[in-house]
Amino acid sequence: MPVDGEMAAEELSPEVSVEALMAAYQQSDQNAARALVTRLSPPIFQFFLAQCRNRAEAEDLLQDFWLRIHKARATFRPGEPLMPWLYAIARRVRVDHYRKNRRAKEFEIVTDQLPEKAAPNAPQPAGPKIDDLLKSLPESQREVLILLKVSGLSLEEVARATGVSIGSVKQKAHRAYDSLRKRLGRSL
């Protein structure tokens, strides 16, 4: 039996919008919070994994993301789309993490040990890896591609999440596609 003000289990079905769940979460509904985490963690995790390419780091970023969502949940305006708001926070989590790690690396001490060599007969994949292709793109173009193609956001949602115009999102995506086509053409 749900506590007064909490959503019942049947109200948490996949048909309930994430915006409705967020509104209930703002009212301290634990069931809605649980449903939000269950429903939104996979796409947000994929966003982080595509950015950092390290599963453990992506999991840490996801935890930090949910902590920030919890602290900022009162700032979400019901009636507004939720996904751009979430991805804007996810983007800030990633940027803050990058800056923190960059500062930490400035103070690391380099050791005299060299890493072990890779096996000389290791099979090499035919053509470039997608990670290498994405790394070759400028950060803003890579971010737009990941939000559009991996996270499945619309142009408008990407524009809101990144704080730029729809035209700028289109331009970055177009330039990224052109750059990838050129690189793929050279490698074939």
27 and 90 co-located in one domain: yes
**Alpha helical stretches, state H, 107-129:** none
Instruction: Give the torsion sign (CA, 146, 150, 155, 159).
Output: negative
116 in any annotated domain? no
117 in any annotated domain? no
14 and 91 co-located in one domain: yes
Residues in the chain: 188
Q: 33: domain CATH number? A: 1.10.1740.10
35 and 71 co-located in one domain: yes
**107, 139, 161 — which closes off a domain?**
107
CB count in 10 Å sphere of residue 122: 6
pTM above 0.75, yes or no: no
Q: What's the CA gap between 48 and 110, in Å, rounded?
A: 28
Span 34-39, average pLDDT: 96
Phi, psi of 137 (to 5 degrees): -80, 150
DSSP summary character for residue 12: G
Confidence of residue 86 (pLDDT cuts 50, 70, 90): very high
Furthest-apart CA pair in the chain: how many Å? Answer: 65
DSSP summary character for residue 149: I
Domain tally for the chain? 2
42 in any annotated domain? yes
95 and 159 co-located in one domain: no
92 and 138 co-located in one domain: no
Instruction: Identify the domain containing residue 188 by its residue range.
Output: 128-188
Query: What average pLDDT does the chain have?
Result: 85
Measuring CA to CA, which residue among 117, 126, 118, 180 is closest to residue 148? 180
Tokens representing 110 are 């380099």
pLDDT of residue 56: 94
100 and 161 co-located in one domain: no
118 in any annotated domain? no
| pLDDT beyond 90 at 6 | no
Residues 91-132 have pLDDT tens digits of 999 999 988 887 766 666 655 665 566 555 655 556 677 778
Q: What's the CA gap between 85 and 76, in Å, rounded?
A: 8
87 in any annotated domain? yes
pLDDT of residue 60: 95
pLDDT of residue 42: 96
Strands in the chain per DSSP E: none
Q: What's the CA gap between 166 and 171, in Å, rounded?
A: 9
51 in any annotated domain? yes
Identify the weakest region by mean pLDDT among 10-24, 36-50, 112-126, 165-179: 112-126
100 and 182 co-located in one domain: no
3 in any annotated domain? no
Residues 37-78 have pLDDT tens digits of 999 999 999 999 998 889 999 999 999 999 999 999 999 999
102 and 142 co-located in one domain: no
